[in-house]
Homo-oligomer: A and B are copies of this chain.
Amino acid sequence: MPELRQNPFTKEWVIIATERAKRPEELRVKRGDKHELPRYSPSCPFCPGNEHLAPPELSRLAYEPGKWSVRVIPNKFAALSFEGEPTRKIERSRRTLNGVGIHEVIVETPDHDLNLAQLGDHQVTDVMRVYRERYRSACEDPRVVHVTLFKNHGVGAGTSLEHPHSQLIATPVISHQVRERMYESLRHYDEYGECIFCEAIKEELIDGARIVLATDHFVALESYASPTPFSTHIYPRRHLACFGDVTDDELTDLGYTLRTLLAKLYLGLDDPDYNFTIRSAPKESRNAPYYHWYLSVIPRLTRVAGFELGSGMFINVVLPEKAAEFLRNVKIENGALSRLTPANIPSV
């Protein structure tokens, strides 16, 4: 019998389709489109030496003079314009706002051919440190009300440039989806006097079945009502609404946790396309006792089709418990990830 599960944070229902259920291994990506990348590409605007191909740098993290580790530049094809004021216009049912905001690119490593799963933990921590710096910087802009940090890995996840990078988009509006999430968690807080996320994390740690990884500061887990296979959330154990307020210790731990999760996905599912995003509270709710920021990793293993678009309900073909078990069992051996192509990935 299939099972409907409700996400307690969003109230969304998901169909866990046991009749169509797949073993996690069946979702391993079999692709012919993978090719070995060069460590440096002459035409890549994100490679060292090609800085002139990109807009002027906004920030960098460097350990040696003249050599950067992580670099931040404005997006050359920005979705929002940095200049201007967010003037609103309402004309009957037509509501518009000038498209002003911030759109930045965070180049994660000088190496064209690496990806986050293959970097050292400390390098992923460096990327997270730059995330925090850019997040805080964007929040200083009075036009900004919400900041989204995200990464697209692979063509199926919407990336257009191979060189590993993430993006930040800061908007002058709070989206309906974010408003809804805040509202539902506020309602829970008003009713029970507790953050619904803190509560769920505690429950999940006791249950254990959906935990992928738990560290001093973070817990990576498959949600009970996970809408898509292997969609994994990384929650801070400490209650905190705003990503910009993470401590240095937490950042170090986040780098380890995220990198380990990405390495498990890389090895276990053959470098799947994925997105990840940091779901932080809007600026105005920075200190909310009812909201809890988290990082959401979404492997793109199945396709959204007409039912999902029409009903707003997802059909998940992998039991979250099975996905968590599968990821727990992926072992990351020393050196297993250094510039591997999927063809010579060790079996797990």
Contact = CB atoms under 8 A, between A and B. Distances in A.
Interface in A294-322: 296, 298, 303-307, 309-313, 315
Contacts of A306: 150-152, 157-158, 167, 275-277
Given A1-B81, A19-B81, A310-B296, A12 B176 contact: yes
A159 B175 CA distance: 30
A29 interface: no
A151 B99 CA distance: 34
A339 interface: no
Interface residues of A, number: 78
Given A276-B306, A311-B146, A177 B5 contact: no
A341 interface: no
A97 B3 contact: yes
Total copies of the chain: 2
A169 B96 contact: no
A13 B173 contact: yes
B79 A279 contact: no
Interface stretch (A57-65, A195-203, A329-337): A195-203
Interface stretch (A87-95, A109-117, A249-257): A87-95
Given A157-B303, A275-B306, 9 more contacts: A4-B96, A4-B99, A12-B177, A18-B99, A19-B78, A150-B310, A158-B303, A175-B312, A279-B310
A193 to B, nearest CB: 15
Nearest to A304: B158
A165 B92 CA distance: 39
